[in-house]
Structure 1
């Protein structure tokens, strides 16, 4: 389960690098492909926020209930902040894609906030949460957790190695993008 979460983080990092590149180009006055940006945020909302984060929340709640003493669940709170930033960025992107004028500075700021929140969040999980879980949860704990996570687990709609139509343009962009 932890391996899957780390694998997801690698994929999310790839997408955050694309967003950083798009933000940089936008701040330099270049045109960018807003459909690719929207697809990345849509992926994050559809997969990361509806499967990845809920699985993390279930695992951490189990840890708090069975292994920790009086700990506060800051992980779920952080997921809510990331979700709010995602919604704000998606709202701005939808305005742009519907030909509604949005200040370039607002879009650049929304990009920067979103990417920074996501990166700091993943760094905190990888530095603090994941090692804590790996150290303290037993194989039996992981079996219980896996059963609890079944309703939240969905297949990755972008990075899974099988024929899918979701995110075709984004998948094509990632295949053809220059390494950064």
Structure 2
């Protein structure tokens, strides 16, 4: 399970890098593919917020319950903030794609903030939480977590080998720009 979470982070980092590059172009006044940007944010909503983050929450809650550790709500708070941020960004992107004028400066600022909070969140998990999970939890703990997560686990709709057409343009972009 921890391997899956870390693999998800690797994939999310690829997408955040794409957003950062698109945002840089946007800040320079260059044109960007807003549909592609929306697809990245949609992926974050569809997969990260509805499968990846709940699995992290379940894992963290299990850890807090079974191992001595300081109680904190930071993980859950950050997941809520990330969902709000992606919702607001998605709203702006949908307006743009519906030909509603949005300030370029606001979009650049919002997109930059989105990438930064996503990256900071992953760094928190990778530097503070994941090492604790790896150090303290054994196979039986992960089995119990797996059972609790089964309903939340979905196949990654972007980084998989299926022939689904979902996120097809984004898959092609990643294959061109970020060869595996």
TM-score w.r.t. the length of structure 2 is: 0.96
Say whether residues 1:96 and 2:102 are aligned partners.
Answer: no
1:119-138 paired onto structure 2 within 5 Å: 119-138=119-138
Mapped to 1, the partners of 2:137 and 2:116 lie a distance apart of 30
Mapped to 1, the partners of 2:55 and 2:178 lie a distance apart of 32
Asked whether the 8 Å contact 1:85–1:114 carries over to 2, the reply is yes
1:81-160 paired onto structure 2 within 5 Å: 81-160=81-160
Q: Paired residue for 1:39?
A: 39
Mapped to 2, the partners of 1:52 and 1:177 lie a distance apart of 24
Q: Paired residue for 1:57?
A: 57
Structure 2 unaligned blocks of 5 or more: none
Mapped to 1, the partners of 2:69 and 2:122 lie a distance apart of 24
Displacement of 1:87: 0.7
Q: Number of residue pairs matched?
A: 179
Mapped to 1, the partners of 2:177 and 2:132 lie a distance apart of 36
Asked whether the 8 Å contact 2:62–2:145 carries over to 1, the reply is yes
**After alignment, is 111-120 or 72-81 more displaced?**
72-81
1:9-20 paired onto structure 2 within 5 Å: 9-20=9-20
Displacement of 1:176: 1.8
Mapped to 1, the partners of 2:93 and 2:68 lie a distance apart of 41
Asked whether the 8 Å contact 2:14–2:178 carries over to 1, the reply is no
Mapped to 2, the partners of 1:16 and 1:76 lie a distance apart of 21
Displacement of 1:140: 1.1
Asked whether the 8 Å contact 2:92–2:102 carries over to 1, the reply is yes
Displacement of 1:177: 2.2
Mapped to 1, the partners of 2:88 and 2:164 lie a distance apart of 28
- The list of structure 1 runs, each at least 4 consecutive aligned residues, that deviate by more than 6 angstroms after superposition, is none
Say whether residues 1:30 and 2:67 are aligned partners.
Answer: no
CA displacement, residues 118-141 of structure 1 (integer Å, 9 cap, x when unaligned)? 000001100000001111112111
Mapped to 2, the partners of 1:69 and 1:177 lie a distance apart of 41
